[in-house]
Structure 1
Amino acid sequence: MPNLIQKLSRGATLRQLEILAVVYRLGSIKAASEALHLTQPTVSMQLKKLGDASGMPLYQIMGRKLVFTDSGREIALSATRIFGELSALDMRLSEFRGLRAGALRLSVVTTSKYFIPHMLGPFCERYPGIDIQLNVGNRQQIIDRLEAGDEDFYVFSHPPENIDTVSTRFLVNPLVVIAPESHPLAGERSVSLVQLAREPFLMREPGSGTRYAIEQFLHRHDLRLNVKMTIQSNEAIKHAVMSGLGVSILSAHTLTFGGNAGLVELQVEKMPITTSWHMVWPKSKTLSPIADRFLQYVHNEGRRLIEGEFKRVGFETREL
């Protein structure tokens, strides 16, 4: 009786295994078809062929939800590992080609999207043959992607503590108080925390790294803010502040690279809140030659580039 390897080698293809891995990661045929630029019937047909080749059903449709069988889950996880090894092999070979080919995959939290592209620009010029894949999401979405482990690096201001990872700090992340230019406190040389607490405050949503840092700061200083509105977007917060709806605390990167017209930084005591940006990757993952080269670049030229822009617009950075 043929074993599973013999069955798959006779009827399965790498493309079918790739489709299965993507469906498993994204959780639905629709999402996988969009990611792979295939039609849903094509994805379903390829999965059926793979199931026939393995001799076991891969998934069931329960209600409107796709549920993997135990055998389908094991094949999908194995397929994910296979493509991870193939990607690592391609990266290792690219080292022999002088980093003229390959891919660098990044998943970053939303606030870091303001400066990460500025770091990527010179790196891409130096290695034009490298394919850059950049995914942006909120903190929880990036944690989910970190648990899947598909990318080379994940950028956080506050890395998750319950996942076995390697984390390296590469840039400071000052959080500053912003207000509209016409605000009564805009001309003050020193604003107390008590004064700040009286102001209508616009807060980032629960789970965001910025909110996490603010809540830690409030706890340390036994302070409560007058939160009037919770907003999920840095850009929406900036426009709400400009409209006079309140003051807020945002990363200085949001203002340096995202624009600060109509806004001023209030000189609040014990501010800014200084956190750090971290490059994070699973401890079990070996960095590819391209990823290793990018990490070196980030800690040297990339960091100096961002700090230079900071100083140009008036923000000072501290050594890590």
Structure 2
Amino acid sequence: MTQELATLSRKLLRHASLRQIEVFESVARLESFTRAAAELNLTQPSVSAQVKSMSEVIGLDLYEQIGRRIYLTEAGQIVLRGCREAMDALANIEMSLNDLKGLRKGRLRLSVITTAKYFAPVALGYFVEQYPDIELELIISNRDTLMRRIEENASDLYIMGQVPQSRIDLEVIPFAPNPLLVIAHRSHPLANARNIPLSRIAEESFIMREPGSGIRHKTEELFARHGLSIKTRLVLDGNEAIKHAVVGKLGLAVVSEHALNIEGVGGPLVKLDVQGFPLESYWNIVYPKGKVLSVLARKFLSFLKTHGGDYLKIG
């Protein structure tokens, strides 16, 4: 840390109140004074005054407002990370004390990749049976947003498939298989074929995930390894849109098997028996190295490592 950043941190610790830290984190996360005021049950002028006071304490502008949008400055990003670390530490103290008292309270913040929405709520449901009084935050997003949340320390734990390169070191803990397979409309000529060569599949049009998607990367890697290219007809962001496009007979697609498990038997989509598939992949629990996990986050991490695969066997 530079001398300037060290000075900034000391000012924050000495002069900023816990309420100011809470208010600034809410404004930064929601990118809005109005939404922060609603979340914290404060008036908008009160929220603005708290953030202005913090800016004066730091001696630097923490945000820029263009129209109705709030954009953090570089100093604002640094202060936001510090605020979240302080809030995490306080929450951890509270949960540890509750644990000593025999209480099972606290807040668990979980961010998951879109495909994980098929099982993450189920796993959380069973976990909450053990801790019925906890508060939950579940954010479902694409991979780029999830990586940004990791870098901003916005959640306790993150669930995703393939983990891309990051500017920060990450703990990556595989906890369950995440096989990838080719799907087609039930009326497709290859629907009942067996052991279909990859070269034959390469003749078909594909609906692909957006650039940067882990599924797209593994699919392109497999085709390239066999000297083949993919005939991309359409690029869509999200499994639901892709499945609807396959139902519309626009082409084939590669998806996580868990995106099909709740479809049931007899639906319009079928799994194709293709050489090289299913592609081996895993669900991972991810968090920044060095992050001090809350008591509740450690319990959920242990829960997923032990039982996470159980909630993938649905449908």
TM range, smaller chain: 0.7 to 0.9
Q: Tell me what 2:219 maps to.
A: 214
Quote the offset at 1:24 in angstroms.
3.7
- Distance, in Å, in 1 between the alignment partners of 2:246 and 2:13 is 64
TM-score, reference length from structure 1: 0.84
Alignment partner of 2:308 out of 284, 293, 302: 302
Confirm whether residue 239 of structure 1 aligns to residue 244 of structure 2. yes
Matched with 1:116 is 120
After the TM superposition, which residues 26-175 of structure 1 pair with which residues of structure 2 at under 5 Å, given as runs? Answer: 27-29=31-33, 32-33=36-37, 36=40, 40-51=44-55, 54=57, 56=59, 58-59=61-62, 61=64, 64=67, 66=70, 75-98=79-102, 100-162=104-166, 163-175=168-180
- Range moving further from structure 2, 82-91 or 26-35: 26-35
Q: Deviations over 1:123-165 (max 9, x none)?
A: 1111101112111110010000000113111111112333211
Unaligned runs of 5+ in 1: 314-320
Contact 2:175–2:308 (Cα < 8 Å) also in 1: no
Q: Equivalent pairs: percent with the same residue? A: 38
Name 2:5's counterpart in structure 1. none
**How many Å separate the matches in 2 of 1:22 and 1:248?**
39
Shift of the 192–51 alpha-carbon distance from structure 1 to 2, 3 Å rule, reads closer
Closer, same or farther in 2 for the Cα pair 1:69/1:148, shift >3 Å?
Answer: closer
Segments of 5+ residues of structure 2 without an aligned counterpart are 1-9
More deviation, 246-255/151-160: 151-160
Aligned-partner Cα distance in 2 for 1:296–1:7: 37
- Report deviation, 1:174: 0.7
Aligned-residue CA RMSD (Å): 2.7
**Contact 2:64–2:73 (8 Å) recurs in 1:** no
Q: Deviations over 1:88-138 (max 9, x none)?
A: 212222322445100111111101111111111111111101112111110
**Tell me, what secondary structure is at the counterpart of 2:277?**
coil
Q: Which amino acid aligns with 1:298?
A: L
Structure-1 separation of matches of 2:64 and 2:125: 44
Query: Number of matched residues?
Result: 303
Q: TM-score, with normalisation over the residues of structure 2? A: 0.85
Determine if contact 1:56/1:71 at 8 Å carries over to the other structure: no
Deviation of the 1:25 alpha carbon:
4.5
Residue 188 (structure 1) aligned with residue 188 (structure 2): no
Does structure 1 conserve the Cα–Cα contact (< 8 Å) formed by 2:205 and 2:251? yes
Q: Counterparts of 1:239-318 in structure 2 under 5 Å?
A: 239-257=244-262, 261-307=267-313, 309=314, 313=315
Match of 2:6 in 1: none
- The CA distance in 2 between the partners of 1:34 and 1:218, in whole Å, is 50
